Amino acid sequence: MRDVFVNPSAFLLHPWMAVLVPAPTRITYTNQTGGVACTPRQIEGYYVPVFDQEGYDLLHSIFEGTLGGAGTSSGVTWTGQMVDDLREAIARVRMDPSEGGPSEVPLILDESRLDEIDEAWVPVTSPDGPSVLIWENSD
């Protein structure tokens, strides 16, 4: 198994976002999450670069502004306006499907997995199925 630590300061331009799609690739991707908690999370699959500046800015507003950069370690309950804001931020990000079909399909917040959300790690439904949207953690 090969583990790739997504270390944006080492190899990516800023700002950045990506979708991690679970698949049996024998490659795991690890991203630092949780704001100042700096919690590593990983998934086996493949990495798809995506980006939307407005979506990125909204995510920063939610996780660094509303939640104060502390991630969800304080027991965030995702309800009401927070879910609406998160849903809107996620829907702005688009991804091409890996096997043809319409191009640039918007991501959808996977509301069945709200308990998995943290800064820089949000479960989504992508054109390739259940996935995770990641970006650079704010720590």
User: How do residues 35-82 score in pLDDT, each as one tens digit?
Assistant: 998 999 999 999 999 999 999 999 999 999 998 888 887 788 888 999
For residues 15 and 123, which has the higher predicted lDDT (pLDDT)?
Answer: 123
pTM for the model stands at: 0.93
Average pLDDT over residues 79-105: 91
d(CA 65, CA 3) in angstroms, rounded, equals 32
Which runs of consecutive H residues, i.e. helices, occur in the chain?
Answer: 8-11, 53-60, 80-92
For residues 86 and 8, which has the higher predicted lDDT (pLDDT)?
Answer: 86
* C-beta of residue 51 within 8 angstroms of C-beta of residue 133: no
pLDDT value of position 8: 58
**Long-range contacts of 112-117, Cβ-Cβ distance < 8 Å, separation of 24 or more:** 114/78, 114/83, 117/72, 117/76, 117/78, 117/86
d(CA 78, CA 63) in angstroms, rounded, equals 12
Q: Is residue 101 scored above 80 in pLDDT? A: no
